[in-house]
Amino acid sequence: MYITSKHQRSPVDLSIYQVIKEASLLYSIPYNYFHSDFIKGDLSIQESIYAHCGVIFVTHFLNRLGPEYNKLTSLLDPSKSTQHAEVLSSLKKRLRAETYTQNYIKEVFESRKEIIKKLYRQFADVHYIRSSMEKTLSYQRISQITPFANEEEFETILSRECSQNEHHVLVLRALYVFNKHILKTNFYTSTKVALSFRLDPSFLPQSEYPDTPFGMFFVVGNEFRGFHIRFRDIARGGIRIVRSRSDDAYNVNVRNLFDENYNLASTQQRKNKDIPEGGSKGVILLDPGSSQERPEANFQKYIDALIDLLLKQNIPGVKDNYIDLYNKPEILFLGPDEGTAGYVDWATLHAKSRGAPWWKSFLTGKSPTIGGIPHDVYGMTSLSVRAYVNKIYEQLKIESASIKKIQTGGPDGDLGSNEILLSRDEQYVGIVDGSGVIADPNGLDKQELLRLAKERKMIDSFDASKLSDLGYRVLVDDVDVKLPNGYLVTSGVSFRNTFHLKIKEVFGVNLVDLFVPCGGRPSAIDTNNVHDLIDGKTGKSVIPYIVEGANLFITQSAKIILEQAGCVIFKDASTNKGGVTSSSLEVLASLSFDDKGFSTHMCVDSKTHEIPQFYQEYVKQVQKIIVENAQNEFQVLWNLKKDTGLTFTELSDKLSVTINKLADELANSKELWNEDTEFRDAVLLDSLPPLLLKEIGIEKILERVPETYLKALFATHLASRFVYSRGIDSNPAKFLEFISSTRKEYKKKGFL
């Protein structure tokens, strides 16, 4: 009654309503950075929690680098030298580490409470839905605060009150930027479990973030903070949880959090060039201490807070409305990443329980019983990685049996286990995983590796009796271990973390032929250590072939240095796109079927475990598409290197940029989409999996799948086909010739 009544409210009603509102904030953030100010009455609960969120925002987005860094960037020009780019990146990290810590920002807020209150009033004036609540105490309180009339007045007050402290000015300006770029928030809804803000990302400086994201979410929970970044309206990518072993590790993770999220989403954008969805990524950083033991609960809060801003629900007593300055429908396509694979079923079903019409396609990586296609079971990511390995053998006429190989990421993981299972007759000489290192110059027993891969066990379960006299296993807890060749390992953890850099010491310069990173931290190989993989006498890479399965394992400049040293190396954005292709086709099926058809054809029976016939055939079709896409990209990269002399690493990026740029232009082309509907439908017929067309029909698919998604599918299919067949020179004459030949092809197929 207190929430839904439209009659004149009594003071008691208003008090209860205020308790409901404030209880929701306190539930989301029970103890904020300014809790003592709230207790003393210096700040209201709304002001203190707003300030709490503001501190976190400013910590991540205060531009600490200054004009000197921008000047240095223009002098060094990172676009012309990858080594310059990496030096600037390292300098940026150091500058951020040494100035404007979170504690310092809190101190500034504490000392400038009156300005913080005015900025809160500015925030509330935009996002607080007054309705008939204007008599509540909280509204009466903020009404007494005079807001800033405009930016000019804000700057005038800053110059007057902070004239002696430029650092305070920078911090408070960053909070003002926060206010100006919030498009919607659940801050004032009465049922929430974490606070979420949809931000306009245009405030990100182009000197640091050259490609401005399409959209950005900022989420603050009691025990975590998180972001979600996407580079297109229709975009997909995983959600990862970042954990910290110590307070020092946490501080490093805080500094790197947004940049890592941005770089992962950007890599995903390049990787997703073959699919309708652009690139996105979400990160959740758990607070230090006991929060590290509650990843699932914090993941759930993050997801629920995102859903709050994806659905517009005005359900009396359940969900309030909110001010929406963006005012367009939004859908996110999420998936599992580090630390979240076990939680996607909950997120899918939770979206369904919240009434989301897109619940079936919200997350991929879910259980087959609710329509998921598990990447690990069907080796989806590994299929594209293996396609590159096999194409190297084919192009260079190499017998796989002659290959000696090392791998990071062990038989317990998705990529690592499937790489072993698909590896034909290559001879493994070293594997690194979470438990340690196992190596044998004479070759690790393949049957034992296959057993571990099938059972998804780490190398600490490897039967050591199957090692040769030169073989060894060093686990992370081991210390002072002497290897058969006399090399002394003082720390098992350190040896595990750096084994991929010790090839010369443990194997010599001529033993290892192939390295497939299937796991490990980003930037494990960079310009500071890449020379450990180059023979000082010959200047040649000690590993002839590298196929980067793990995301961002080797930095861009390190890859180029290795390639210039004679290594044939293919980067992650090209090689490991099989998983996202599988996820995209899973989403397409989810969007195309109605609920009944989805349950019948895409859901494995939870009791009998019977797999629908359609599902089995669809998985095979997905696998076929993954391999074909990888082979197509490999071939165009191989040909382009011959023609241009550029490295595969540079060409991979050029290929992605060309396809994505052309796809964006085509998606915005009204002429191709609205005026030439016959050709549009022919492209869609060609791009949709034949099995879906046969089962559902083009009319139903066009009716059910959102138009924005279909536009993206249409544009990506044309763009990728054009670039794979005509190269990266996308001049208008070439494109017109391509369209003409495509029309002829479609007429032959009966599409036109």
In three-state secondary structure terms, 526 is: coil
**DSSP assignment of 244-273, as one string?**
-SSHHHHHHHHHHHHHHHHHHHHHHHHHGG
In three-state secondary structure terms, 209 is: coil
- Long-range contacts of 647-651, Cβ-Cβ distance < 8 Å, separation of 24 or more: 647/559, 647/560, 647/563, 647/564, 648/563, 648/568, 648/569, 648/570, 648/571, 648/574, 649/556, 649/559, 649/560, 649/563, 649/569, 649/571, 650/560, 651/728
Distance (Å, rounded) from C-alpha 225 to C-alpha 286? 7
* 346 Cβ contact partners less than 8 Å away, ≥ 6 residues apart: 296, 300
Tokens describing residue 149: 């009339």
Distance (Å, rounded) from C-alpha 424 to C-alpha 148? 68
Tokens 């549009």, located at residue: 680
Tokens describing residue 238: 């995983």
Strand intervals (E) in 434-547: 436-439, 472-475, 479-482, 488-491, 514-517, 545-547
- 123 and 199 Cβ atoms separated by less than 8 Å: no
Q: Which of 281, 301, 319, 360 is catalytic?
A: 281
- 549 and 572 Cβ atoms separated by less than 8 Å: yes
HEC secondary structure over 388-454: HHHHHHHHHCCCHHHCEEEEECCCCCHHHHHHHHCCCCCEEEEEEECCEEEECCCCCCHHHHHHHHH
Known catalytic membership, residue 281: yes
DSSP state of 287: P
Neighbours of 226 (CB within 10 A): 29
Quick one: how far is CA 383 from the chain centroid? 21
**DSSP assignment of 38-66, as one string?**
HHHTSS-HHHHHHHHHHHHHHHHH---SH
Tokens describing residue 203: 């405030």
Distance (Å, rounded) from C-alpha 245 to C-alpha 248? 8
Distance (Å, rounded) from C-alpha 201 to C-alpha 223? 24
* 688 Cβ contact partners less than 8 Å away, ≥ 6 residues apart: 588, 698, 701, 713
Residue positions annotated with a catalytic role? 281
